[in-house]
Structure 1
Amino acid sequence: MREDFPILGKSVNGHPLVYLDSAATSQKPRQVLDAERDFLTRSNAAVHRGAHTLAAEATDLFEDARTTVAGFVGAAPEQLVWTSGATAGLNLVAYAIGNATLGRGAPASARFALRPGDELVVTEAEHHANLIPWQELATRTGAALRHIPVRDDGTLDLDAAASLIGDRTRVVAFTHVSNVLGIVNPVAELVALARDAGALTVLDACQSAPHLPLDLPALGIDLAVFSGHKMLGPYGVGGLYGRADVLEALPPFLTGGSMITTVTLDSAEYLPAPQRFEAGTQPVGPAIGLAVAVRYLEGVGLPAIHAHEQRLAARMGEGLREIPGIRLLGDAAGAERVGLWAFDVEGVHAHDAGQYLDSLGIAVRVGHHCAAPLHRRFGVTASVRASAALYNTDDDVDRFVEGVRGIRPYFGAGA
Structure 2
Amino acid sequence: MNLSFPLAARIPAALDVRDQFPGIGDWAYLDTAATAQKPQAVIDAIARAYGPDYATVHRGVYARSANMTERYEAARETVGRFIGARADEIIFTRGATEGINLIAQSWGNANIAAGDRILLTQLEHHSNIVPWRLLADRTGAHIDVAPLTPDGAIDTPALIALLTPRTKIVAIAHVSNVLGGIADVPTIAAAAHAAGAKLLVDGCQAAPRLALDMAALGADFYVLSGHKLYGPTGIGILWARADLLAAMPPWQGGGAMIESVAFDCVTYAAPPLRFEAGTPHIVGAVALAAAVDWVEAIGVERIHAHETRLLAEARAALAGDNRLILHGPADSAGILSFSLDGVHPHDIGTILDEGGVAIRAGHHCAQPLMAWLGVPATARASFGAYSNADDVDKLVTGMKRVRKIFG
TM-score normalised by length of structure 1 = 0.92
The runs of 5 or more residues in structure 2 that have no matched partner are 1-16
Aligned-partner Cα distance in 1 for 2:179–2:123: 8
Shift of 1:188: 1.6
AA aligned opposite 1:371: A
The answer to whether the 8 A contact 1:99-1:251 is kept is no
Aligned-partner Cα distance in 2 for 1:186–1:394: 30
Query: How is 1:116-265 mapped onto 2 (pairs within 5 angstroms)?
Result: 116-265=114-263
Match of 2:5 in 1: none
Shift of 1:356: 0.3
Aligned-partner Cα distance in 2 for 1:213–1:224: 14
Shift of 1:355: 0.2
Match of 1:377 in 2: 372
CA RMSD of aligned residues (A): 1.1
Shift of 1:247: 1.0
Query: How is 1:37-76 mapped onto 2 (pairs within 5 angstroms)?
Result: 37-76=47-86
AA aligned opposite 1:298: E
The answer to whether the 8 A contact 1:254-1:277 is kept is yes
Match of 2:342 in 1: 347
Q: Does 1:390 align with 2:385?
A: yes
Match of 2:292 in 1: 294
Higher mean C-alpha deviation, range 36-45 or range 135-144 = 36-45
Match of 2:399 in 1: 404
The answer to whether the 8 A contact 1:180-1:385 is kept is yes
Task: Decide which of 357, 363, 367 is 2:362's aligned counterpart.
Answer: 367
| Secondary structure of 1:376 counterpart | helix
Q: Does 1:3 align with 2:15?
A: no
Match of 2:42 in 1: 32
Aligned-partner Cα distance in 2 for 1:323–1:54: 60
The answer to whether the 8 A contact 1:98-1:140 is kept is no
Aligned-partner Cα distance in 1 for 2:40–2:303: 19
Shift of 1:125: 0.4
Shift of 1:405: 2.5
AA aligned opposite 1:378: L
Higher mean C-alpha deviation, range 216-225 or range 119-128 = 216-225
Aligned-partner Cα distance in 1 for 2:211–2:365: 25
The answer to whether the 8 A contact 1:98-1:141 is kept is no
Q: Does 1:82 align with 2:77?
A: no
The answer to whether the 8 A contact 1:217-1:243 is kept is no
Query: How is 1:306-325 mapped onto 2 (pairs within 5 angstroms)?
Result: 306-325=304-323
Aligned-partner Cα distance in 1 for 2:226–2:176: 17
Q: Share of identical aligned residues, percent?
A: 46
Aligned-partner Cα distance in 2 for 1:29–1:400: 23
AA aligned opposite 1:170: K
| Secondary structure of 2:267 counterpart | strand
Shift of 1:212: 1.4
| Secondary structure of 1:233 counterpart | coil
AA aligned opposite 1:350: P
Deviations 1:18-62 (A, max 9, x none): 000000000001110010110111121111011111211110110
* Count, aligned residues: 391
Aligned-partner Cα distance in 2 for 1:159–1:301: 33
Deviations 1:241-294 (A, max 9, x none): 111111111111111110000111022111111000000010100110110110
The answer to whether the 8 A contact 2:160-2:192 is kept is no
AA aligned opposite 1:149: P
The answer to whether the 8 A contact 1:205-1:225 is kept is yes
Aligned-partner Cα distance in 2 for 1:340–1:73: 22
Deviations 1:157-183 (A, max 9, x none): 223212211211000000000000011
The answer to whether the 8 A contact 1:174-1:203 is kept is yes
Shift of 1:98: 4.2
Stretches of 4+ moved more than 2 A in 1? none
